[in-house]
Structure 1
Amino acid sequence: MSTVTASMFTHPLGDDAVLIPRTPEIAEAYHALLEANHRERIARWNPAADDHPPTLAQTREALVATGRAWLDGTLLPLAIAVPEEDRWRLVGTVGLRIDRPARSGEVGYWIEAAHEGRGLVTRAVAAVLDQAFGPLGLRRVELRTNPDNERSQRVARRLGFTQEGVLRQAAAFPDGRRDEVVYGLLAAEWRKE
């Protein structure tokens, strides 16, 4: 089951969801989430995903590595969770890869199909952008997606990203190369009134 009883830190996304840091403390719940969503939700859109979900040990190792990257300031790794009785149920992820010298980043995310259409991804990405353009002091954030991923493109447009182009055959999937649509958002464009 992909639930956790507590977390040292949560960031509210409203009354119905929170962001939780992806750390080894949530390994079992996070692993269950990955197993349940690997083929349809992760491998379908992420060229870095293998054909098979990771083992629990590999999930733990990956969480240790993301924790180090978080401490190094090169990654903001978060899980999206919703309340379920007295626990948090993990339903997706959002993360920001950070290039400090360039003062830029790349946001990525995915969510379980049952939780699509509730605004969770948009709110999660908005919270990450607040951090990126606030305390982290980034000047630009990029979002890349598959041309067939309409939902992801709508998230980008809803948050004010500008489509900057298509990188032809930029993503190497096991079944061949695919194009990527690149969106960009500048600090001056975020939350302007």
Structure 2
Amino acid sequence: MSTVTPAMFTCPLGHDAALIPRTVAIAEAHQALLMANYERLAQWDPDFDAENPTTLDETRSRLERQGHAWLEGTQLPLDIAVPAGRDWQLVGAVTLNCDMAMKAGEIGYWIDAAFEGRGLVTRAATAVLDQALGRIGLDRVELRTGTDNARSRSVARRLGFTEEGLLREAVIFPNGSRDDDVVYGLLAREWLKSREQDGPSQS
């Protein structure tokens, strides 16, 4: 089980979940979460090579780079967690990449298979979008996902993203195969209007 201590938590998502910074401090727990989901994630994300799973050292290096990107204001890397006794269990991730010159960003997310269908990704992404299209000051956030990734596309629609187009064979996987990506977009004015009307999404 990929657990960390409560002291590391900084952004509650209600009483039953939270977001924490994805830093080297949680490298071992994050690695355990990755390994539990690696084969499934490799179906959708070319950063996951099913034939050569990420090592703990590689995970540490990636988290160090993400930590620097956070300080530079170009990335917001977070893990999703739920209570596990006196500690918390990591169950997923959400990441925002920012281009401050363009005032635009791209969000990505995933969840452990055992925790699908609980609304955790929607709640986590909502919290990140509140920051991205509010305090951080982005005008636009994109989301890209595989055409066959029905759950990811469902979350995008639930969050209010607009499907904007198809990128044919835009993704190349480690085995050389290619796949299409669907692009979704969300504007700050759209998000802020929906939040005023509907309040936080709990779906």
Residue 44 of structure 1 corresponds to which residue in structure 2?
A: 43
- Corresponding letter in the other structure for 1:100: M
8 Å CA contact retained: 2:9, 2:18: no
Return 46-55 or 62-71, whichever deviates more: 46-55
After TM superposition, the structure 1 = structure 2 runs for residues 154-165 of structure 1, keeping only pairs within 5 Å, are: 154-165=154-165
Alignment partner, residue 21 of structure 1? 21
Runs of 5+ consecutive residues of structure 2 not aligned to the other structure: 198-203
Q: Matches of 1:84 and 1:50 in 2, distance apart? A: 30
The corresponding residue for 2:190 is 189
Q: Tell me the equivalent position of 1:100.
A: 100
Task: Compare 48-57 and 85-94 and name the one that shifted more.
Answer: 48-57
Q: Per-residue deviation at 1:54? A: 1.3
Cα deviation per residue 1:17-36 (whole Å; 9 max; x = unaligned)?
00010011101101111111
**2:77·2:96 contact (CA, 8 Å) conserved in 1?**
yes
- What is the number of residues matched between the two proteins? 192
Structure 2 residue aligned with 1:119 = 119
The one-letter amino acid of 1:183's match is Y
Instruction: Output the CA distance in 2 between the equivalents of 1:95 and 1:136.
Output: 14
Give the aligned partner of residue 83 of structure 2: 83
Partners of 2:6 and 2:43 lie apart in 1 by: 31
Q: CA deviation at 1:48?
A: 1.9
Structure 1 unaligned segments of length 5 or more: list them. Answer: none
TM-score by length of 2: 0.92
Deviation at 1:53, TM superposition (A): 2.0
Give distance in 1, aligned partners of 2:106 and 2:11: 20
Determine what percentage of the aligned residue pairs are the same residue.
62
CA contact (8 A) 2:161 2:186 kept: yes
8 A contact 1:7–1:20 mirrored in 2: no
Q: Is the 8 A contact 1:28 1:56 kept in 2?
A: yes
More divergent stretch after superposition (179-188 vs 3-12) = 3-12
Give 1:184's aligned amino acid.
Answer: G
CA–CA distance in 2 between the matches of 1:7 and 1:150?
35
What is the CA–CA distance in structure 2 between the aligned matches of 1:183 and 1:7, rounded to whole Å?
Answer: 35
Q: Distance in 2 between matches of 1:30 and 1:174?
A: 22
Query: Alpha-carbon deviation of 1:174?
Result: 2.5
